[in-house]
Structure 1
């Protein structure tokens, strides 16, 4: 099943919020699980008052001895409830040292440990930097989702990493713009495509730019565990944007494309 890596290179645009939001609004048949792979440490445990164990450490240990990756995830997952939706998550301890030790165990055998056959995995990879232990994970992801705001500084930092990102990814590289940027998605796409094509001599269509996400403090507070979700939580602007994002990603996630097509056709 698909593996989606969520990361960023500058600022703090909400990788954990985006990973959890994507999982919460996905189709039930996909059964996404969020895995905190941030080398700086995880946030879900404290935000949603989860237990310290099991965690990504247990996932790495279970992956070594489990008969299948599905068994390993069953051992290591906890649940975050977003209204009526139970989202399975593999948390990471704060601090990051244990996550940095666990990541080579999960990526050393390639894709197998992070891609169970029965579900989508959304990996929260945190901030991406030189020598980060999440680079091997990005190399086996179906989609690398890079969050950025459409500001001059963040776009400049992103542009400097594009060569590594394009070369590293076997899957699709998608830039998702956050709320509050100074430029449009078209402007950012033009800048990045020109850089990829002219400066890097790569295919300028290797990068897709989506967004921007709406400014939605209520939905963000729900996903951070600060506010209970109401009955109409799926209609909050940010949640609707995450649902549309699944449709945009579906062509790059073959295992889920047909499910989204059926859901779209069934919508009146």
Structure 2
């Protein structure tokens, strides 16, 4: 199944929170698993009181020699409970050194463990940098969602990195607007479209803008482990907005068996 990679370009606009929210509200048939691929280390273990093992390191170890066998996830996922839903997650150690060592094994040539048959993988890749060890994950992804606040400085950082992102991303590039911005979806799409056409000379580049996500402290606290989910947790504004985002992304994340194109992406990432 497809791979959705999520990242930011600067600051902390809530990528891990949004990634967990998307994994939690996704249709059950997609069998979503959230994998922390942040080279700086993971947050879910400490936020939600999960065990230190199994982790991303164990996924990398189990992946050796198995190609895209989805059975590896049965041994390395942990269950993160949110109300009446359980989100399977692969946590990363808080320190980044182990994560940085594990990532190359997950993205080496021919390795399809991040887009296995029968599962939709959501990869939290942290902050995008040209030299990031998570760069090959972005290259493998069918969709890369870059989360940013629609402020003057936030959009400036997106424009600064847009050419680099387009060089890396082989799937669809999505700009996901977080809360606290000053501009709406149409305004941001116009700014980025003008930048693509006039500065990057790439008027045909396909960049989708979604959002903005609402400011919702209750949902953010729930997804950060600071609040227990009630019976109507999925009706909170942020979760409802993420359900809408999931619907917008669904056509780009079509369920399909692995084929030569998937193998080609793996070769590119390697």
Q: TM-score, normalised by structure 1?
A: 0.92
Pairing 1:149-160 to 2, within 5 Å after superposition: 149-160=149-160
Structure 1 SS opposite 2:157: helix
Pairing 1:119-198 to 2, within 5 Å after superposition: 119-198=119-198
| Structure number having the greater helix percentage | 1
On the 8 A contact 2:67/2:112 being kept in 1, the answer is: no
Aligned to 2:10: 10
CA shift for structure 1 position 23: 0.6
CA distance in 2, matches of 1:124, 1:66: 23
Q: CA RMSD in A?
A: 1.3
Q: Which consecutive residues of structure 1, in runs of 5 or more, have no partner in the other structure?
A: 257-268
Q: Which has the higher contact order (CA 8 A, sep 6+)?
A: 2
- Compared CA separation, residues 202 and 67, structure 1 to 2 (3 A): closer
Structure 2 SS opposite 1:225: coil
CA distance in 1, matches of 2:240, 2:46: 26
Aligned to 2:218: 218
CA distance in 2, matches of 1:195, 1:57: 40
Structure 2 SS opposite 1:244: helix
Query: Does residue 75 in structure 1 map to residue 81 in structure 2?
Result: no
CA distance in 1, matches of 2:180, 2:40: 25
Aligned to 2:60: 60
Aligned to 2:250: 250
* Aligned length in residues: 256
CA distance in 2, matches of 1:36, 1:68: 18
Q: Deviations over 1:202-245 (max 9, x none)?
A: 23551111110011111111111110111111111000011111
CA shift for structure 1 position 69: 2.8
CA shift for structure 1 position 111: 5.5
Where has structure 1 moved over 3 Å in runs of 4 or more? 65-68
CA shift for structure 1 position 247: 1.1
